[in-house]
Amino acid sequence: MRILAKKMADAEGVRERVLLSVQDGKIASVDSWNDATRPESFDVDARDALLLPGFLDIHVHGGAGRAVMEGTEDALNAVAVHLARHGVTGFLSTTITAGWDDQLAALRMAANAMRSPENGRNGAAVLGCHLEGPYINPKRKGAQPGQHILLPDVEDFKSRVGDLISVVKVITLAPEMPGALDLIRLLTSQGTIVSIGHTDATYDEIDAAIAAGARHITHCFNAMSQLGSREPGVVGAALSHPELTAELIWDNVHVHPASCRALINAKGPNGVILISDGIPGAGMEEGYAFSLGDLPVVVHDGTARLPDGTLAGSILTLETAFANAQSYDLLERAAMSSRNAAVALGLGESKGLLAPGFDADFVLLNPDGSVRQTFVAGNCVYS
């Protein structure tokens, strides 16, 4: 198969009139087409479209009315199909703070999906799991169910998660909670990315977490201590520590566009990862009601909120986040929507670039920015 695209962009550059060849699920070559080039049978004629690496969403709870916390194959598949419609080729199924039975069910389902030959055949591929909680600070729980919040406990975590630790690619926790630093050391020794989030930590407590191995910030600016003149808080630490990669929900609701730009300008485009934080309400109509754990949520005016007005995840999709970041060039946006996540997950040799030898995971965007087609390992999973 060949893709003829008007323009191609990834984190390493932008090219016009690209002819990309795919073989056995990998990118075989990247060449050029000219006015004499004619599409052949099985070619994809996208000579008016933008070709990008597939978006990678490392923080998404659900969409199209379904949630990964349902803990079923059907729900996870439905989320994967929903994400493919929005240009996502790989994702981390993201839990919420819940009872261990529910969290482990979601972990097992992600593990099953990763082992399945069908993973990525009909939608975005499951790349692992992101545990958002249960080791968070009740003061900054946001829409997380408070009754299931736990203090970090190394032995309890090991006994419950066991071999499923290999599926946990990211875990969000509050480093100021008693026992958190010991858990951070354990998790980083196992290759899990420890992300600082739902936290009231001081700048000094973030320093201690970095020393223990934390390297990531969950949905920067949201559910965390803010930047002050004498106490920089988590936001100040995110802005000033190059070791920390920051997630960003760029929906112009969770974070003001000026704050988005301030974060990217401080860290550089390689230090920020666009996420959706999508929940079951993503892709659903105005007034759609559902539950986040046992908390009631309603989609209203482009947001998802609890009855008290608290934002409860987002209904953002990543092609919209990509468009919202248009003050940055295509190369920079391709880094934030794909390449940076691939590198963070240790997949930098196979995903996030459009180059020979890389997985044929890519998305074609129409001139208006909408998703035309999504491909995973060279297979069209959305058109």
CATH number of the domain encompassing residue 39: 2.30.40.10
Q: CA–CA separation, 76 vs 61, rounded Å?
A: 10
Average pLDDT over residues 191-208: 98
Contact 361, 377 (CB under 8 A): yes
Q: What is the pLDDT of residues 323-343, one digit of tens each?
A: 999 999 999 999 999 999 999
Helix axes of 100-115 and 73-84: crossing angle, nearest 10 degrees: 60
Helix (H) or strand (E) holding 188: helix 180-189
Do 339 and 357 fall within a single domain? no
What would you report as the CA-atom Rg of the chain, rounded to the nearest whole angstrom? 20
Range of the domain at 1: 1-53+352-383
Rounded to two decimals, the pTM is: 0.97
Instruction: Let me know whether 327 and 356 are in one domain.
Output: no
Q: pLDDT at position 152, please?
A: 98
Q: Examine the domain organization and report whether 233 and 163 are in the same domain.
A: yes
213 pLDDT tier (thresholds 50, 70, 90): very high
pLDDT digits (tens, 9 = 90+) for 10-49: 999 999 999 999 999 999 999 999 999 988 989 999 999 9
For the record, the structure tokens of 381 come out as 């999973």
Task: Of 138, 141, 136, give the one whose Cα is nearest residue 175.
Answer: 136
Burial class from Cβ neighbours inside 10 Å (0-12, 13-18, 19+) for residue 354 reads buried
Task: For residue 108, give the amino acid letter.
Answer: R
Give CA–CA dist 197/96, Å, rounded.
12
pLDDT of residue 179: 98
pLDDT tier at 242, thresholds 50, 70, 90:
very high
Asked about 43 being catalytic, the answer comes back as: no
Residue 258, domain CATH = 3.20.20.140
Query: Per residue in 68-115, pLDDT tens?
Result: 999 999 999 999 999 999 999 999 999 999 999 999 999 999 999 999
- Residue whose C-alpha is closest to residue 259's, from 225, 303, 232, 220: 220
> What confidence score (pLDDT) does residue 292 get?
79
**Pair (250, 325) in one structural domain:** yes
Residue 75 shares a structural domain with residue 212: yes
Catalytic: which of 277, 294, 301, 368?
A: 277
Query: For a pLDDT cut of 70, what percent of the chain falls above it?
Result: 100
Tell me which of 311 and 205 has the higher pLDDT.
205
Q: Residue 131 CB: number of other CB atoms within 10 A?
A: 26
pLDDT for 294 beyond 80: no
Scored b (16 or more CB within 10 A) or e, 84-110 reads: bbbbbbbbbbbbbbbeeebbbbbbebb
State mean pLDDT over 286-301: 87
